[in-house]
Structure 1
Amino acid sequence: MTKYGLVVPTYQPILDAGLTAPELVARAVEAERIGLDSVWVGDTLARAPIDALTILGAFAARTSRITLGTAALLPALRNPVLTANQLLSIDLLSSGRLTVAVGAGFAGRSEPEFAIAGVPWARRRARLDDIVALWRHVWSGGDGSFHGEVLHYDALPTFPAPARPGGPPVWLAAFTPGALERVGRLYDGWLPYPPNPADYASGLATIRATASRPVTPALFATVLVEDDTARGTALLEEYCQRNYGAPASYVQGIQMQVTGSAAEVAEQLRAYGDAEHVLVRIASTDPATFDEQLPRLAEVASLLREPQPSKTRQFATP
């Protein structure tokens, strides 16, 4: 059965609008209460966010069932060994409820962040793969050294055993041809946001055709449940301008965004039928709108969980 999760906004716009850090934690608690399966946080230096790993630790302390995750973490911005320890700590605090989606950065947007962190933009994908391999190495009790394509450590500390053997699953948030090949070799899941369901199906078919390990297919979707189509369209436009400084027509050519009634949103998400975990980001930085949307998202998830009538094949009468 497909799982449905909430992306909790932790960036400066939501804080400027009046939500405090403890209130963001309360939204994660509410997501668990209303029956959602997971809560996720993003990661960036560009918009002065609350630290992703710190707030996930708070989520771990206040929830008991729900999966906790990053969508997506930019590991290159952090010390790889210290991050391995932080993620392991959240894994243990949550009794094994952590999933880590990671990315190598978005060209045209992430270069300044890499510069701030003092990390070269060149070979960013190889660096990401090395970081994930390093994490798995120390989480699995590997010996005290690691040598990858980019990262080299002659000595490493010893870590406690994770809650799950091998540590938290790590997903790749990317949709390039190279990423599709790497997912099936190196990662436990795939988290893209393509606007076209056919592209999603094609990408997943490519992964499955070449994968050497099980891969969880997921989807990142930006959603606004609104019965008034014109109002929903206007709010999505406002969200894209505030969040990206670009019109919705441009953003929606890159990422999956949908507005409509609960039934209409469910129908569009259902088109990504192979997705086993759908992460929903509410298209608003207004706290009141965010809270109004939460029960509507639960309604969408409930509709999506309902069994669909089987389709009987129709034959033309000769």
Structure 2
Amino acid sequence: MTHALPSASPAPSAPSAPSVPVGDVAPGPSAHRGAALPPAVDPAGHDDALRLGVFVPTPLAQWAPGDGPRDVVDFGVRAERTGFDSLWVTDSLLTPRIEALTALTALASATERVTLGTGTLLPALRPPVTAAQTIASVDQLSGGRLVLAVGAGFPGSFGAPVYAMAGTPWPRRFTRLDETVTLWRRLWTGEGPVSFHGEVLHFDDIAPATPAFRPQGPPIWLGGATPAAHARAGRLYDGWLPYPPDPADYGTGLASIRSSAAAAGRSDAAFAPALFVNVLLTNAADGGRTELDAYARATYGRPVEEMERIQANAAGTPEAVVEKLGRYVDAGARHLVFRIAAPDIAGQRAQLDGLAGLRALLDKPAELRARLDKPAATRAR
């Protein structure tokens, strides 16, 4: 879901987005940066608490001259100390980046409590048995903090080149994805030998594999927002990480997933509804439109007008961002995963405190939030 589209000519970099004070919004708990952080209550997000996550800038296109892998890890550490609940990485072969599972291994050793996630991992890029071992190892090294959001890639001419680079057939990709997930869960028990025969994957007598930290393995969420994806998410997966531009479509999709889960005899409580959203706090007169366009062109080689038809965006003042994100929360999203639409690591880092502080408004009932997200002068009338 999050790998890059085929690149066009690079666009000029936009200036770093300024860090915007959040006004009446309480800041994140950055004052406690020297204190030990408690472990996450539920990395999968099944306890209905509102969670905030952030993508770590692993793509090299987001690095300024002089930036390096250490800055990526430091960004993750700072995000944890600022109060974020989860750190996320993207997966692609089309543009240079620190590989997703490698990056999570580094973050696992540098952090203490945050959930570590992929958004989204493309299993088709890796041999399934090898990937099962790598994922189980990351889950072990993180102490069970791993969550995998997986997908089959962008459709058609956007996704097919990635499969070709990986040497994986493009047809039957959704069946391949679901069978890979089913095989992983069997391998992560550590029992064996395991034989598996699906419609696409066929294995005989796989030796006992590296067990995951948790007996059932890490939670696996599905990206995608088509009716077929909704049905598969409810039937097989533990959560949902889409990026629909319209909050109403999020609510409709989540209702469809819950219906599919009920038909499969699965509990609604065992499902984590999340959202992938591009965000930017800015006081720019155009509400961050210029910065979003520069980010879309640098990331995908496409203008924001094209990308906003398929991806969720929330940019502008804190009040404007809360208004947009709040509509997704009202539609049922409980884990908001921010991809900061600033052009470099420094610009993204400057946004962390303000974004973490949005939780104070987003975690309120809709009617109260609507009053609180207005400027103070408006509320006084």
Are the structure 2 counterparts of residues 183 and 72 from structure 1 closer, same or farther at C-alpha, using a change threshold of 3 Å? same
Offset of 1:246 from its aligned partner?
A: 1.8
Give yes or no for the alignment of 1:256 onto 2:312. yes
Contact 2:275 2:336 (8 Å CA) reproduced: yes
Matches within 5 A, 1:221-300: 221-230=277-286, 232-273=288-329, 274-300=332-358
2:212 aligned partner, one-letter code? P
- Spell out, residue by residue over 1:124-173, the C-alpha distance to the aligned partner (whole angstroms, 9 max, x if none): 11111111011001112454211122111102121343222210000001
Q: Deviations over 1:166-219 (max 9, x none)?
A: 100000011111111000111101110001010000011111112133321110
Tell me the alpha carbon deviations over residues 84-121 of structure 1, each in whole angstroms, 9 at most, x when there is no partner. 11111111111110000001010232211111111011
**Secondary structure of 2:280's match?**
strand
List alignment gaps of at least 5 residues for structure 2.
1-48, 370-381
8 Å CA contact 1:183, 1:215 repeated in 2: no
SS of the residue 1:22 aligns to: helix
**Structural mapping, 1:154-169, within 5 Å:** 154-169=204-219
Q: CA RMSD in A?
A: 1.6
In structure 1, C-alpha distance between the alignment counterparts of 2:326 and 2:91, rounded to whole Å: 27
Aligned residues: 311
Alpha-carbon distance between aligned partners in 2 of 1:227 and 1:19, rounded to the nearest angstrom: 26
Give the partner amino acid of 1:61: S
Q: CA deviation at 1:69?
A: 0.4
Q: In the TM superposition, what are the counterparts of 1:116-131 in structure 2 within 5 Å?
A: 116-131=165-180
Structure 1 residue 228: deviation in Å? Answer: 2.2
Q: Measure, in 2, the Cα distance between the counterparts of 1:299 and 1:232.
A: 19
Amino acid at match of 1:39: L
Q: Please give the alpha-carbon distance, in whole angstroms, between the structure 2 residues aligned to 1:157 and 1:277.
A: 36
Instruction: Indicate whether 1:150 and 2:206 are aligned.
Output: no
Q: Give the AA of the match of 1:138.
A: L
Task: Identify which of 206, 226, 232 aligns with 2:256.
Answer: 206
Q: Choose the corresponding residue for 2:273, options 213, 217, 233.
A: 217
1:1-318 correspondence to structure 2 within 5 Å: 1-15=49-63, 17-107=65-155, 108-143=157-192, 144-211=194-261, 212=264, 213=266, 214-230=270-286, 232-273=288-329, 274-306=332-364
Unpaired runs of 5+ residues, structure 1, are 312-318
Question: Do 1:17 and 1:286's aligned partners in 2 also have CA atoms closer than 8 Å?
Answer: no
**Cα separation, 2, equivalents of 1:198 and 1:127:** 30
- Partner of 2:139: helix, strand, or coil? helix
CA shift in 2, pair 1:155/1:17, >3 Å: farther
Distance 2:163 2:51 in 1: 33
SS of the equivalent of 2:119 reads strand
Identity %: 47
Residue 267 of structure 1: how far off its partner (Å):
1.8
Partner Cα separation in structure 1 for residue 229 and residue 66 of structure 2: 38
Relative to the length of structure 2, the TM-score reads 0.78
Q: Tell me if the contact between 1:99 and 1:169 (Cα under 8 Å) persists in the aligned partners.
A: yes
Question: C-alpha displacement at 1:302, in angstroms?
Answer: 3.3
Q: What is the rounded CA distance, in whole Å, between the counterparts of 1:302 and 1:41 in structure 2?
A: 25
What is the identity, as a one-letter code, of the residue corresponding to 1:59? L
Helix, strand or coil at the partner of 1:114: helix
Residues 43 and 51 in structure 1, CA contact (< 8 A), matched pair in contact too: yes
After superposition, the C-alpha distances for 1:260-315 in whole angstroms (9 at most, x for unaligned) are 1122212211101211111000012222211211112112233323465569xxxx
Give me the whole-angstrom Cα distance separating, in 2, the residues matched to 1:254 and 1:231. Answer: 19
> Can you list the C-alpha shifts for 1:14-49, whole angstroms capped at 9, x where unaligned?
235542111101111011000000000000000011
Range moving further from structure 2, 187-196 or 222-231:
222-231
CA distance in 2, matches of 1:279, 1:35: 13
Q: Which is bigger in relative contact order (C-alpha 8 A, separation at least 6)? A: 2
- TM-score, length-normalised on structure 1? 0.93
CA contact (8 A) 1:18 1:287 kept: no
Instruction: Tell me the SS of whatever aligns to 1:230.
Output: coil
Show the counterpart of 1:315: none
Q: Secondary structure at the match of 2:176?
A: helix
- Contact kept, 8 Å, 1:229 with 1:259, in 2: the verdict is no
- Within 2, Cα distance between the matches of 1:177 and 1:231? 33
2:54–2:337: 8 Å Cα contact kept in structure 1? yes
Letter in 1 for 2:288: G
